[in-house]
Amino acid sequence: MKLTLNVWRQAGPDAEGRMQRYEAPDVSPEMSFLEMLDVVNQRLEENGEEPIVFDHDCREGICGACSLMIDGVAHGPQAATTACQLHMRHFKDGDEITIEPWRAAAFPVLKDLMVDRSAFDRIIQSGGYISINTGSAPDANEVLVPKVDADQAFEAAACIGCGACVAQCPNGAAQLFTSAKVSHLGLVPQGQPERDQRVVSMVAQMEAEAFGSCTNHRECEAVCPKEISIDFIARMNRDYLKARIMSRAK
């Protein structure tokens, strides 16, 4: 395959960025998208040019680091797939592909295709810890959890914090990410003592960052590589309102 790439290049956070065109000949359909960028970077280095900076880690769809807008879609055209697991067989010979970093005020560009997603870390940290002293590992089934709750907690905990939901949302909202992190603890017994304070603190931190507001476009749900439902946003909103009402009643 021969492809043409339009890649966002930006020297640093305060530098002016631009789109730059590259030819990518001899691309194997079996390459992943990041492997294709590796090959492009190798050619750039051989020619004495600066390689394209992009974030990556596990390349197994787990870490959430591969934050790329591919032809205007977070992680590219394949549903429920991270950029690192998107294969070039989903493109055609002669295609022209546009590659950009996440576009959100809360995710400032560090260089080229790499963005700063530390706002997510601060939201998680604001939730604090579970204060229950659990002691040694409990025996299996000692703490009974209804299967419905266990399944929903597992679904929420599947969030890898990639930021695709924010990048695709026209408002740059982080409600899907935050609600997943709130819910996966709020659904299990161990998470109940801090449930109210956790949701209030995490929502407050989310609003303190430069994220937008959710207006139910559902773009977040559409591009989430783990297919997390916006039902968790409704759950978080309910928990937040309940926590605020209870705090005023005390």
Q: Residue 179: give its domain's CATH number.
A: 1.10.1060.10
CA 99 to chain centre: 17
Residue 167, φ and ψ in degrees, nearest 5: -65, -35
Largest separation between any pair of C-alpha atoms in the chain:
68
> Does residue 24 sit within a domain?
yes
* Tokens linked to 92: 């055609």
Percent above pLDDT 70 for the chain:
98
Number of domains in the chain: 2
| Residues 149 and 238 placed together within one structural domain of the fold | yes
Q: What is the 3-state composition of the chain as percent helix, strand, coil, each rounded to the nearest 5?
A: 40, 15, 50
Residue type, 12: G
Q: Pairing between strand 69-70 and 114-115?
A: unpaired
Rounded CA-CA distance 243/108 in Å is 32
**Average pLDDT for residues 159-183, to the nearest whole number?**
98
Map residue 247 onto helix, strand or coil.
helix
- Answer yes or no: do 208 and 122 share one domain: yes
Instruction: Look at residue 137 in the predicted model and tell me its pLDDT.
Output: 72
17 has pLDDT over 70? yes
Residue 58 placed within a domain: yes
- Tell me the mean pLDDT in the region 121-149: 83
Q: What is the arithmetic mean of pLDDT over 215-239?
A: 97
Strand order through the sheet with 96-100? 18-24, 3-9, 96-100, 69-70, 73-74
If asked whether residues 78 and 169 sit together in one domain, one would say no
- The pLDDT value recorded for residue 139 is 75
Q: Are residues 26 and 123 in the same domain?
A: no
Facing residues of 9 across strands? 18
Buried b (16+ CB within 10 A) or exposed e, 108-129: bbbbbbbbebebbeebeebbee
Residue 216 near residue 237, CB atoms below 8 Å: no
* Tokens standing for residue 150: 């266990």
Question: Is pLDDT above 90 for 136?
Answer: no
User: Residue 103: is its pLDDT beyond 80?
Assistant: yes
Distances (CA, A) of 31 to 25, 87, 91: 13, 6, 11
Domain co-membership, 154 together with 239: yes
- Ranking 59-68, 122-131, 171-180, 214-223 by mean pLDDT, the lowest is 122-131
Question: Is there a single domain that holds both residue 83 and residue 124?
Answer: no
Q: In terms of residue numbers, what domain contains 240?
A: 118-130+144-249
Residues 194 and 88 in one domain: no
Per-residue pLDDT at 248: 85
For residues 32 and 120, the answer to whether their CB atoms sit within 8 Å is: no
- pLDDT at residue number 134: 63
Say if CB 67 and CB 163 are below 8 A apart: yes
Specify the DSSP element, H or E, that contains 165: helix 164-168
- Whether 139 is in a domain gets the answer no
Q: What are the tens digits of pLDDT across the range 191-215?
A: 998 999 999 999 999 999 999 999 9
Query: Stretch 125-154: mean pLDDT, rounded?
Result: 83
Whole-angstrom distance between the N-terminal and C-terminal Cα of the chain? Answer: 66
The torsion region of residue 26 among left (phi > 0), alpha (psi -120 to 50) and beta comes to: left
pLDDT score recorded for residue 100: 98
pLDDT at 113 over 80: yes
CA distance 20 to 227: 32
